[in-house]
Amino acid sequence: MKNIFDEMNAPGGAVRPHYSRFQEWLAQTPPAHIAAKRAEADSAFHRYGITFAVYGEDAGRERLIPFDIVPRIIPADEWKKLEAGLAQRVNALNAFLHDIYSSQRIVKDGLIPAEQVFCNAQYRPEMQGIDVRNSIYAHIAGVDIVRAALPDGQAEYYVLEDNLRVPSGVSYMLEDRRMMMRLFPELFSRYSVAPVEHYPDLLLDTLRQVAPAGVDDPAVVVLTPGAYNSAYFEHAFLAQQMGVELVEGKDLFVHDETLFMRTTQGPRRVDVIYRRIDDDFLDPLTFRRDSALGVAGLMSVYRSGRVTLANAIGTGVADDKSIYPYVPDMIRFYLSEEPLLLNVPTYQCRKKDELSYVLANMEKLVVKETHGAGGYGMLVGPASTQKEVDDFRVRVKAAPDKYIAQPTLALSACPTFVEAGIAPRHIDLRPFVLSGKEVRMAPGGLTRVALKEGSLVVNSSQGGGTKDTWVLEK
Amino acid sequence: MLSRTADHLYWMARYTERAENMSRLLDVSHRMSLQLPGAEMGYWGAALGITGLEPVYTAKYGPITGANVLRFMAVDLDNPSSILSTLRSSRENCHAVRGTVTSEVWETINTTWLEGRDSAAEKMKGGGEAELVEYLEWVKFRSHLSRGVTVGTMLQDEAFHFARLGTFLERADNTARLLDVKFDELAPQVSPGNEYYEWGALLRSVSAFEIYRKVYRDVITPRRVAELMILRDDMPRSLHGCLKEVHQILGLVANSRSSETRRLAGAAYSQLQYGRIDDILEVGLHRYLTDFLDGMAVLSSRIAQDFLVPMS
């Protein structure tokens, strides 16, 4: 790999200023103490059951997401820029969704080709003309950000993707902080770290702000597919932290154009659903008929404005990888502002000239399915064998519309405990952006780390770990 | 609270209690088999008989031995009623409502399953009765811990009440079954002179040996054992003690459709409150306990109807 930006160590071995106090602490702390604390973290995560179910070979088993004790530290001024850029981007994406599901100006003005929107599998015609409260669709957005080295030795933040459906991971952000404070309280006296523990409060407040008009004291619930879902820990955790019910589809029913939950004291009205299941499964009468996870008739209550879904139905049309290249244009179009955050240059295989470039340069590129998520269905050219590249080329040729490609970014790296000691590993960042009456977020987000040497895939389903993320207050 | 949540809490507690009582039942078989060399196979066969799973046992283990029956009933996941299977069910129910219980409750029940599974895997590989009996002791201890952490950390709201309801209904059921089986088994064969050991083993298995001594200050007789386990109101594992709690909890969680359920619990409670052991023995203990268990089954299904997820 070309030059890699190390978050902690500058070229030549000097420690970057915002890591110097951490480096001092590391030098003073006996390795045996750190080893003992790392073991303590593992056993605590197991006992709390902070685990992740994995699809595929080990189906049904729960696994820990490895936690690394070296924090990812972001200086105050860097975060300020990121925060402004994120708020701008999420505002534009919400404006786009509102536009697409009402007057469709951006298509009529020719900025985005109509077929890119209306032929997209994530576009939901059922949402056309539905009034959602405050015109907010993506109440919770998880925007993946990476930092890549520039030729001059500096580095720049890029938005890699916008997750506007049911982004997960925020519970790890909160648990990682709690774990760091428990294991190494002395570190927090050396640094002034911006707190993140109020995230559940912000989330509950956001959900209450978007309740149907006229509801005084809205009843909020978290809707989960159930205890066997890979992110179930997070669903239960957020419901508990917000003090609201964690419901499954079978706990809910529609009566008289109103949504109710079954309780020990009889039916109780529900006003806001923070749903952690996909659009397709929400209502068997409207979407997939075989879904046992949803609630029959929910869509009709939603249409009449008597319940709020967060996120709204049909947000996937805005975070789809084929729409991603247009986000900077959306920002200019809806907000009349210049984008504050960079997009990664993207080749759209549906365009002939870009396709031929992609096919010819595949071993240098990252190729992704436009509808893929979670690190599945992608090719990292430089890390693949010739056969894998050739196989993928056949797939792209067969259905070019389904793929985009990007240059392989040299993701920044952060020192991480691995078997052989401390070594740099690639990281990304997922801040969680909340939109209700205003846009808010907890400082930082979830830092994911690719634990395999040289790997650029940070997804937990692909063996990634997490780190505590520190935004410095000064 | 959500009906499904109440249902999970109720079953979480029932399965924990069931695991404890299964340990007690196996413990009594073990004690008796030690005291009456020669007759031990009869005791182990009877323990197996309660489950109705002899064919599954025979197919897997062949002839009855104490160690293998213990292994099958305690640590074998192929047996859906084994203690370990029961601990797993308790943990799965708790997992489904982990946001509703305190983190201490979840940690305790999750740790019981994780440790129980690991040590069970060891015991599946081999070992004799002695090692397996250690497991029974451990299960009882973990059950005490689960109950203690529930009472000691949970807010006394509906979640707590439904968990307690599960505990006492299960315990009433299990005490009645233990008495029924053991009286049936013991009464004909206890030879004079052995009474002390046999009934003593039964009392010890329900932690009632010292209580018996304190209450009666006299030799152990079946009539008094039955009285203690059925009618004694301050005895934590007696039918009376359990129904007192069940009746009270149904008052605390009452809703608009549960009055008939509470009346049934009240009727069962009154019978225990004002019943006499001589009348019960006259009817016949087996018949009395069978009626009692039928009544508990009706009560359980009414509770499911009124508050929980109705049994299909």
User: With the C-alpha atoms ordered B302, B304, B310, B311, is the resulting torsion angle positive or negative?
Assistant: negative
Q: Does residue A244 belong to the interface with chain B, where contact is any CB pair within 8 Å?
A: no
Token pair 């298995």 is found at B205
Contact B65, B44 (CB under 8 A): yes
Distance, CA of A156 to CA of A412 (rounded, Å)? 9
- Is the model's pLDDT at B163 over the cut of 50? yes
C-alpha distance from B153 to closest chain A C-alpha (Å): 16
Counted across chains A and B, CB pairs separated by less than 8 A come out at 59
The pLDDT value given to residue B74: 95
* pLDDT (mean) for B220-244: 94
Return the pLDDT at B2: 93
At B234-279, the pLDDT tens digits run 999 999 999 999 999 999 999 999 999 999 999 999 999 999 999 9
Minimum Cα–Cα distance from A222: chain B residue: B99
Sign of CA dihedral A118, A123, A126, A127: negative
Tokens of A224: 């989960």
Which residues on A lie below 8 Å from B161 (Cβ)? none
Record: contact B107-A264, CB cut-off 8 A: no
Residue A182 forms contact with B (CB below 8 Å): no
Closest-CA residue of chain A to B7: A264
Chain B residue at shortest CA distance from A265: B255
Confidence (pTM): 0.82
Mutation to test the B interface, candidates A264, A265, A295, most B Cβ within 10 Å: A264
The DSSP H or E segment spanning A199 is helix A199-209
Q: Å from B15 to nearest chain A CA?
A: 18
**pLDDT confidence of residue A57:** 39
Which residues on A lie below 8 Å from B1 (Cβ)? 245, 263-265
Which residues of B fall within a CB distance of 8 Å from A47? 107, 110-111
Contacts of A239 in chain B (CB under 8 A): 99
pLDDT in tens, B234-243: 999 999 999 9
Interface of A with B in 368-407 (CB under 8 A): none
Contacts of B253 in chain A (CB under 8 A): 264
How would you classify residue A258: left for phi > 0, otherwise alpha for psi between -120 and 50, otherwise beta? beta
Over residues B282-292, the mean pLDDT reads 93
Whether residue B99 and residue A250 make contact (CB cut-off 8 A), yes or no, is no
Residues 215-234 of A with CB under 8 A from B: 226-227, 232
Judged by a CB distance cut-off of 8 A, whether residue A260 touches chain B is no
Q: In this complex, do A251 and B3 lie within 8 Å of one another by their Cβ atoms?
A: yes
Residue B3 to residue A46, Cβ atoms within 8 A: no
B9/chain A closest Cα distance in angstroms? 12
Structure token pair of residue A362: 């595949």
Q: Taking CA atoms, what residue in A is nearest to B104?
A: A48
Alpha-carbon distance B307 to nearest alpha carbon in chain A (angstroms):
5
Please tell me the predicted confidence (pLDDT) of residue A60.
41
For residue A460, the model assigns a pLDDT of: 67
Task: Please name which of A333, A223, A238 lies closest in space to residue A271, comparing C-alpha atoms.
Answer: A223
C-alpha–C-alpha distance, residues B196 and B198, integer Å: 6
* pLDDT given at position A1: 44
Which chain B positions have a beta carbon within 8 Å of A227's beta carbon? 92, 95-96
pLDDT computed for residue A427 by the predictor: 95
Q: How far apart are CA A106 and CA B58, in angstroms?
A: 73
**Sign (positive/negative) of CA torsion A438, A442, A444, A448?**
negative
Distance, CA of A119 to CA of A140 (rounded, Å): 25
Q: How far is CA A261 from the centre of its chain?
A: 29
Alpha-carbon gap: A44 to the closest alpha carbon of chain B (Å): 10
Q: A13: how many CB neighbours lie within 10 A of its CB?
A: 6
Those residues whose C-beta lies under 8 Å from the C-beta of residue B185, and which sit 6 or more positions away, are B43, B46
Residue A264 has its nearest CB partner, among B6, B110, B111, at: B6
CB contact under 8 A, B92 and A227: yes
Q: Which pLDDT band, with edges at 50, 70 and 90, does B311 fall under?
A: low
Q: Is A43 on the interface with B (CB under 8 A)?
A: no
Q: Are B272 and B243 in contact (CB under 8 A)?
A: yes
Chain A residues closer than 8 Å to B97 by CB: 246
A347: enclosing H helix or E strand: strand A347-348
Per-residue pLDDT reduced to its tens digit, B81-95: 999 999 999 999 998
**B255 contacts in A (CB within 8 Å)?**
264-266
Instruction: Write down the residue that tokens 């729960």 correspond to.
Output: A62
The per-residue b/e assignment along B67-78, b for 16 or more CB within 10 angstroms, e otherwise, is: bbbbbbbbbbee
- Residue A265 near chain B (CB below 8 Å): yes
| Interface contact A264-B1, CB threshold 8 A | yes
Cα maximum dimension of chain A: 70
Write out chain B residues lying below 8 Å of A264, CB-based.
Answer: 1-3, 6, 158, 162, 253, 255, 307-308
- Between CA A261 and CA A272, with CA A267 as vertex, the angle to 5 degrees is 40
Please, what are the averages of pLDDT over each run of 10 residues along chain A (474 residues)?
82 92 94 92 77 47 80 97 98 98 96 92 92 95 94 89 94 94 93 96 97 95 90 90 93 95 93 95 86 89 95 94 94 98 93 92 90 72 89 91 89 90 93 97 95 78 86 90
Residue A407 main-chain phi, psi, to 5 deg: -60, 150
Top residue of B3, B162, B250, B307 to mutate, by most chain A CBs within 10 Å, is B3
Interface of A with B in 47-66 (CB under 8 A): 47-49
Pair of tokens at residue B6: 């109440």
CA distance A31 to chain B (A): 29
Q: Hunting for tokens 């206890």 — which residue is that? A: B190
Contacts of A245 in chain B (CB under 8 A): 1-2, 5
